[in-house]
Structure 1
Amino acid sequence: MRARLPLLLLSAGTAVLYLWRLGDSGWANAYYSAAAQAGAESWHAWFFGATDPAGGITVDKTPAATWVMGLSARLFGVNAWSILVPQALMGVASVVLLHATVRRTAGEAAGLIAGAVLALTPVAVLMFRFNNPDALLVLLLVAGAYCTVRATETASARWLALAGVAVGFAFLAKMAQAFLVLPAFGLVYLAFAPAAVLRKAWHLAVALGAVVVAGGWWVLVVELVPAGSRPYIGGSQSNSVLELALGYNGLGRLTGEEIGSVGGGGWGSGGWGRLLGAEMGSQIAWLLPTAVVLLVAGWWAGRAGERVQLALWGGWLVVTAVVFSFMNGIIHAYYTVALAPAIGAVIGIGAVALWRKRREPAAAAALAGALAVTALQCYLLLLDWSTTLAVVVLVLGLAAAVGLFLSAVAPAVVVVPLALVAALLGPGAYSVATAATPHSGAIPSAGPGPGDRPGGGLVVVGPGGAVTGGGTGRMGGLLHAPDPGDDLVRLLRDSDGFTWAAATVGSNNAAGFQLGSGSPVLAVGGFNGTDPAPTLEQFQTMVRSGRIHYFLGGAGMPAETGSDASERIAEWVEATFTPTTVDDVTVYDLTDRNLTDQDITDRDLTAGAQR
């Protein structure tokens, strides 16, 4: 029990950090909260990852993360805690599993350092307290790394296949991003597993098959189900999961050719400095330079088993960092949480390997240099937040670096705690500030602010100068969900007999109205409003058959690429029905009894002629 006490303390501390005042963030990302709510009410919506219980359209990702949240909401009710707690628990599990993986070859101290670095990385604190798919992605990839290490120790096909299963299910959490670890996993097994090359190649083929089966079974089912019997696949232009996986969430992220993306690209300048820049630096870069130093120095100082893990985690780190640095498509700062386990593992393994050789001048110099780099990097990141803390971290770090350089004679009982405090104080303080701050919206950012993304957010100007990308008012827009007033909530709840209480352009608008009222709301055009779901003709058929009660809001979002169906629908509604205002939201009653079918048909023809 005494030997397990440090891990228990690390786990308990992580749990407190990730669960403390978790409910303050409310629905967090309402887009995924609405899908969890839908899944709690309908198994059909749950399986496909639909954003409403009636199954109009899915989220623009595979649904493994919403499966977990939907089950939790079924068990404990639809509320902030039932939706957010699963991610916090995934964070604790990721820390424990990373510790277990590193500990196998580098020892207890390395495992504890690795776990602590992961737990106190600001972007990790953010995402393990949020309901984006990244929490499940990280947990499954760390599980895949654990299985790969076990497989490499004994050339075990079974453990390698389990690694493939973990990566396959990670694909079901966040699609192609899961595959960034595969080069490291495969090459490490091929290089270090104690077996003949042909046998290892066969094992890798089996593991790749496991990836395909674990990640592909849901894709196959969806592709085989007739389109009329399932929701539209959000984020695609052809109602296809394969298109979504290969295009919008696949190669499009690398090339910038994501059809249907509002904003038309321009997601920041790529290059080696992206991860250290204003947008991403405060999220992940606190110990990133340190990890690079310790990766190289640790390989020199490490034993055979430690080198295996340094190759695995270093490969994970390098491939993911290069892709994030140079991809031209949609990228957000919180994606960098995928780097946090690798940074933690490399630092834990490298630091312990060098400490073991601290009496050698080269090892002592490498340790001291790594900590000096850490102190300088944290100082620079802290300057814009707390100058006092920045100076304290710099002084402590440089003092500890001197102690490490003289570690052959300096007392370890003083040097080691001082070095750990100096290295973790900066990111730890920023992480606590992150946990103390409610975060919401589609693009969260770690830190003590109101959750705004550093460097500014995406703002899209719609017809008539309406801002559709920003605020959290009665109409939320592209990135934020609305907060419906009491009168509008009562109106939506009084919609028995309709498939959807209302329809509105954009998934975040629909999510806010749905979560606030508890009534299904159709997201016209999906997340960006640029999916052809439904088309104008399909929407008109829904209206004529009495499936939608109200339409909320006015003109749709501008489509630079993708479909303009949502704009056409909004324009048709404006031209056909009489608007009223409820709680500052424009409402169109689509059951206006003063309009006959012939009236609607005539206006359909008029609207078409005007276009």
Structure 2
Amino acid sequence: MTFRRVLRGRDEDPIWARPALTVLLVVAALLYGWGLGASGWANSFYSAAAQAGSISWKAWFFGSFDAANFITVDKTPGALWVSGLSVRLFGLNPWSILLPQALEGVATVALLYAVVRRWFGPGAALLSGAVLATTPVATLMYRYNNPDALLMLTLVAGAYAIVRAVEDARTGWLVLAGACVGLGFLTKMLQALLVLPAFALTYLVFAPAPVGRRVRQVLLGGAALVASAGWWVAIVELTPARHRPYVGGSTDDNVLQLALGYNGFGRLTGNEIAGFDGRRFGFGFDPPGWGRMFDAATGGQIAWLLPAALLLCLAGFALAGRSAAAPAQAGRWRAAYALWGGWLVTTALILSLMHGIFHPYYTLALAPAVAALVGMGAHTLWRLRSDRAGANLLAAVVAGTAVWSCLLLDRSAAFHPWLRAVVAVTGLLAAAALAWSARPARRDRRPAALLAPLAAATALAAVLAGPVAYSLQTVAAPRSGPLVSAGPAMPGARAGRAGGMDMARLFVNRAPDPRVRALLAQNAGAYTWVVATVGSRGAASYQLATGWPAMAVGGFSGTDPTPTLAQFQRDVAAKRIHYFIGDPFARAFAGTRVSDSTRITDWVQHNYPAATIDGVTIYDLSR
């Protein structure tokens, strides 16, 4: 293999394609990996589960919160399998927990490049990769240990398989696409299925095969999805409850209820049956509505190029026949617009209108589709730049995006105020230059030919300046807890509250005082759980600090019906739990309800002596 072949990649690629891809991936790696350890345990709920999985293979398989396998996290364990293995290999530290997400982010950028490049070439693919890499919510979540990073990698892999399937109607690619979505289900349950309508319809409409064969192939892909996701669900359901941890987030220790309820239709209706009622707490930020993707809490995460993506999707689909070199190419381009446009519209509508728990970082699910559509749409219009209508439409997209970026930047007025003027001026000048470059010339076209690439580079700088600035701020400022967002604080964003308290304060990772840590570590090996406390907030901190299992009574929020008071009393009598620490926030979640966790708290308070260390009330259950 010659040096030129290594440098260029494929024979049809220009000489700059491979070096440009390398630069893109290096930039993505720096964005996602620089100063990664500064966020500490990040989301300590999942960090504690990764620690548990590094100690116990049983905890690793079931996704247990603790190595003693009392209860699982409230998600399927796909992402924990990766982080748990990383901790086993490299030891327990923030880097070993967070590095897998950064690598998954870089892999997603590379895979999106491969998807777009296949039909639209390296230029469109590089633009798509750059948009995804610098989207603020992507920078946030690829530096964080929530399951979303692996979910996006599996779904983009599924999109690649659909593109390959549409090319030659091979069943194997449909089966692979279904398997990728199934792996996504094992990462974050029903959210993975949001792409299914776009995947299935794209193949049914555009694949070069008879209708009957297409239907059968899609059904086989669905079977692959069920098999790739269902094997783990079947094992959990068939394992007797006494031999496995309780399924966190469910009311009846049933993983199907978790998938269909709390992590499924409950998110749509707001009726999260797992006991944690997001509506009761106002959990999530702004209420559902058509403008949720553009509001104060969410707009800065994903909306920078969202209007452009929607417009370019429509324009690209309509103009594919004029821009493509051949009818077959035009058909593939329309299939690509249907695939990514369907992904974007379906996911955006559901996230906008869902009444259950919503966090702005959920919008990572839109980022690959936005990035792909911007790259493909810009490529389609660029090929039509000699046509006055095509050039004017491209100029309008650039100008509109620049103005919209200024509006988003204005929401955080103290954040680099000079940037708004720079974006506005460069964006409008680039748009004017793009429109002028298509003006009919009477004599020499060279000035216009030279102006167009310069205008394109200026336009790219203008439309990416805002998201890049937000991404860099995200890298510079460590984040922790489950309530995180990218970029600077938004004064207009409304955070949820519980019992008059800011929800964000309920889950801040607070390392226990060294005296508390030393007390819990005393004779820890003689007990199954060194400490029990209501909810995962404190339990995660104690478990990560001591290295010994902590019992999260009631699961994540303390509202799961496990353990019962009788079960807890039996564990205490058997000397399986050493200490109990009360959590003042647990009452906020319980509200006026009398739950198992409140009964346990009351029983401990009435029967065991208390000591206070650094404001933490500790009950010694061994006395």
Match of 1:46 in 2: 60
1:486 aligns with 2:514: yes
Quick one: structure 1 residues 584 and 262, their matched pair in 2 at CA, closer, same or farther if it must change by over 3 Å?
farther
1:363 aligns with 2:403: no
Match of 1:295 in 2: 313
Secondary structure of 2:311's aligned partner: helix
Secondary structure of 2:530's aligned partner: strand
1:282 aligns with 2:311: no
Match of 2:409 in 1: 382
Q: Quote the Cα distance in structure 1 between the aligned partners of 2:594 and 2:436.
A: 65
1:439 aligns with 2:469: no
Q: Quote the Cα distance in structure 1 between the aligned partners of 2:591 and 2:110.
A: 45
- Can you list the C-alpha shifts for 1:45-82, whole angstroms capped at 9, x where unaligned? 11111111101111000000011000000000010000
Match of 1:33 among 29, 42, 47: 47
Q: What letter is aligned with 1:520?
A: P
Secondary structure of 2:556's aligned partner: coil
1:412 aligns with 2:452: yes
Quick one: structure 1 residues 437 and 158, their matched pair in 2 at CA, closer, same or farther if it must change by over 3 Å?
same
- Can you list the C-alpha shifts for 1:571-592, whole angstroms capped at 9, x where unaligned? 1111111110123210000011
Match of 1:304 in 2: 331
Q: Quote the Cα distance in structure 1 between the aligned partners of 2:73 and 2:156.
A: 25
Q: Quote the Cα distance in structure 2 between the aligned partners of 1:590 and 1:182.
A: 51
Match of 2:323 in 1: none
Q: Quote the Cα distance in structure 2 between the aligned partners of 1:264 and 1:287.
A: 30
Deviation for aligned residue 1:481: 3.1
Deviation for aligned residue 1:300: 2.0
**Deviates most, 310-319 or 479-488:** 479-488
Match of 1:538 in 2: 567
Q: What letter is aligned with 2:317?
A: W
Deviation for aligned residue 1:560: 5.5
Instruction: Check conservation: 1:437, 1:448, Cα contact below 8 A.
Output: no
Q: Quote the Cα distance in structure 2 between the aligned partners of 1:554 and 1:572.
A: 14
Match of 1:455 in 2: 493
1:261 aligns with 2:276: yes
Q: Quote the Cα distance in structure 2 between the aligned partners of 1:123 and 1:72.
A: 24
Q: Quote the Cα distance in structure 1 between the aligned partners of 2:493 and 2:270.
A: 20
Quick one: structure 1 residues 561 and 159, their matched pair in 2 at CA, closer, same or farther if it must change by over 3 Å?
farther
Match of 1:373 among 392, 400, 403: 400
Instruction: Check conservation: 1:444, 1:453, Cα contact below 8 A.
Output: no
Q: Quote the Cα distance in structure 1 between the aligned partners of 2:181 and 2:551.
A: 32
Quick one: structure 1 residues 453 and 63, their matched pair in 2 at CA, closer, same or farther if it must change by over 3 Å?
farther
What is the 5 A alignment of 1:560-579? 564-579=595-610
Quick one: structure 1 residues 293 and 168, their matched pair in 2 at CA, closer, same or farther if it must change by over 3 Å?
same
- Can you list the C-alpha shifts for 1:170-207, whole angstroms capped at 9, x where unaligned? 00110000000000000000000000000000000000
Q: What letter is aligned with 1:330?
A: I
Instruction: Output the TM-score relative to the length of structure 2.
Output: 0.91
Instruction: Check conservation: 1:262, 1:528, Cα contact below 8 A.
Output: no
Q: What letter is aligned with 1:386?
A: H
1:427 aligns with 2:457: no
Match of 2:542 among 501, 513, 521: 513
Match of 2:442 in 1: none
Deviation for aligned residue 1:518: 1.2
Q: Quote the Cα distance in structure 1 between the aligned partners of 2:570 and 2:498.
A: 30
Q: Quote the Cα distance in structure 2 between the aligned partners of 1:522 and 1:576.
A: 19
Quick one: structure 1 residues 405 and 420, their matched pair in 2 at CA, closer, same or farther if it must change by over 3 Å?
same
Q: Quote the Cα distance in structure 2 between the aligned partners of 1:10 and 1:270.
A: 36
Deviation for aligned residue 1:407: 2.7
Q: Quote the Cα distance in structure 2 between the aligned partners of 1:298 and 1:563.
A: 57
Q: What letter is aligned with 2:497?
A: V
1:165 aligns with 2:179: yes
Match of 1:395 in 2: 425
1:345 aligns with 2:385: no
- Can you list the C-alpha shifts for 1:507-528, whole angstroms capped at 9, x where unaligned? 1210011111112100000111
Instruction: Check conservation: 1:275, 1:284, Cα contact below 8 A.
Output: yes
Q: Quote the Cα distance in structure 2 between the aligned partners of 1:242 and 1:397.
A: 50
Q: Quote the Cα distance in structure 2 between the aligned partners of 1:160 and 1:126.
A: 32
1:322 aligns with 2:322: no
Match of 2:215 in 1: 201
- Can you list the C-alpha shifts for 1:470-512, whole angstroms capped at 9, x where unaligned? 43xxxxx4x2233101111111111221000000001121001
- Can you list the C-alpha shifts for 1:347-380, whole angstroms capped at 9, x where unaligned? 0000000000111122111101111111011101
Instruction: Check conservation: 1:445, 1:453, Cα contact below 8 A.
Output: no
Q: Quote the Cα distance in structure 2 between the aligned partners of 1:258 and 1:560.
A: 16
Secondary structure of 1:124's aligned partner: helix
**Deviates most, 383-392 or 151-160:** 383-392
Q: What letter is aligned with 1:487?
A: R
Q: Quote the Cα distance in structure 1 between the aligned partners of 2:20 and 2:504.
A: 44
Q: What letter is aligned with 2:555?
A: G
Q: Quote the Cα distance in structure 2 between the aligned partners of 1:165 and 1:563.
A: 43
Q: What letter is aligned with 1:335?
A: Y
Identical-residue share of aligned pairs (%): 53
Match of 1:600 in 2: none
What is the 5 A alignment of 1:1-40? 1-2=7-8, 3=15, 4-40=18-54
Instruction: Check conservation: 2:495, 2:502, Cα contact below 8 A.
Output: no
Q: Unmatched 5+ residue regions in structure 2?
A: 1-6, 9-14, 321-329, 439-447
- Can you list the C-alpha shifts for 1:93-119, whole angstroms capped at 9, x where unaligned? 000000000011111111001100000
Match of 1:69 in 2: 83
Instruction: Check conservation: 1:445, 1:454, Cα contact below 8 A.
Output: no
Secondary structure of 1:496's aligned partner: helix
- Can you list the C-alpha shifts for 1:299-328, whole angstroms capped at 9, x where unaligned? 122232221111100000000000011011
Q: Quote the Cα distance in structure 1 between the aligned partners of 2:63 and 2:614.
A: 30
Instruction: Check conservation: 2:52, 2:64, Cα contact below 8 A.
Output: yes
Instruction: Check conservation: 2:270, 2:278, Cα contact below 8 A.
Output: no
What is the 5 A alignment of 1:137-176? 137-176=151-190
Deviation for aligned residue 1:561: 9.7
1:584 aligns with 2:615: yes
Q: Quote the Cα distance in structure 1 between the aligned partners of 2:332 and 2:112.
A: 16
Count of residues paired in the alignment: 580
1:243 aligns with 2:243: no
Secondary structure of 1:406's aligned partner: helix
Q: Quote the Cα distance in structure 2 between the aligned partners of 1:20 and 1:561.
A: 45
Deviation for aligned residue 1:262: 4.4
Instruction: Output the TM-score relative to the length of structure 1.
Output: 0.93
Q: What letter is aligned with 1:273?
A: G
**Deviates most, 112-121 or 255-264:** 255-264
Quick one: structure 1 residues 563 and 244, their matched pair in 2 at CA, closer, same or farther if it must change by over 3 Å?
farther
> Over the residues paired in the alignment, what is the CA RMSD in angstroms?
1.6
Instruction: Check conservation: 1:525, 1:565, Cα contact below 8 A.
Output: yes
Quick one: structure 1 residues 304 and 562, their matched pair in 2 at CA, closer, same or farther if it must change by over 3 Å?
farther
Match of 1:474 in 2: none
- Can you list the C-alpha shifts for 1:245-281, whole angstroms capped at 9, x where unaligned? 0100000000000021144454432111100000100
Secondary structure of 1:107's aligned partner: helix
Q: What letter is aligned with 1:426?
A: G
Q: What letter is aligned with 1:78?
A: L
Deviation for aligned residue 1:388: 1.0
Q: Unmatched 5+ residue regions in structure 1?
A: 472-476, 593-611
Deviation for aligned residue 1:289: 0.6
Instruction: Check conservation: 1:46, 1:67, Cα contact below 8 A.
Output: yes
